[in-house]
Amino acid sequence: EAEVAQSPRYKITEKSQAVAFWCDPISGHATLYWYRQILGQGPELLVQFQDESVVDDSQLPKDRFSAERLKGVDSTLKIQPAELGDSAMYLCASTYTPTGAYWEQYFGPGTRLTVT
């Protein structure tokens, strides 16, 4: 069964350092999402791509976060500099281009970030 791949699975970094996360969606999925999930809360959408284009990044803290999906396949999310409040699970999800009312997001296992 095809899966969304993410790496690393765990990352510990010091405050003010740079950190990057990688996601490889299921083959053929044109839509890719990055979420941040703080313990006890639901996933918060950071950025949504359709192929290589950004559909929505209204919740992305652009002063420190950046995301790219240059060839419309895999994607990288970067934080620079990391802050203590960035400690969370970073989830990547993908789907076929949504049409109609119903579609399924497939999530990767996530990257758990701890900022010290």
Partner 1 sequence: RKEVEQDPGPFNVPEGATVAFNCTYSNSASQSFFWYRQDCRKEPKLLMSVYSSGNEDGRFTAQLNRASQYISLLIRDSKLSDSATYLCVVESSGGSYIPTFGRGTSLIVHP
Binding site for partner 1 (CB under 8 A): 31, 33, 35, 40-45, 48, 55-56, 91, 98, 101-105, 107-110
Length of the chain counted residue by residue: 116
The nearest distance, CB 110 to partner 1, in angstroms, is 6
The nearest distance, CB 106 to partner 1, in angstroms, is 8
Q: Nearer to partner 1 by C-beta: 81 or 112?
A: 112
Q: Is 36 exposed, middle or buried (0-12, 13-18, 19+ CB in 10 A)?
A: buried
Residue of 8, 9, 26 lying closest to 94 (CA atoms)? 26
Q: Amino acid letter at 25?
A: P
Q: Nearer to partner 1 by C-beta: 44 or 51?
A: 44
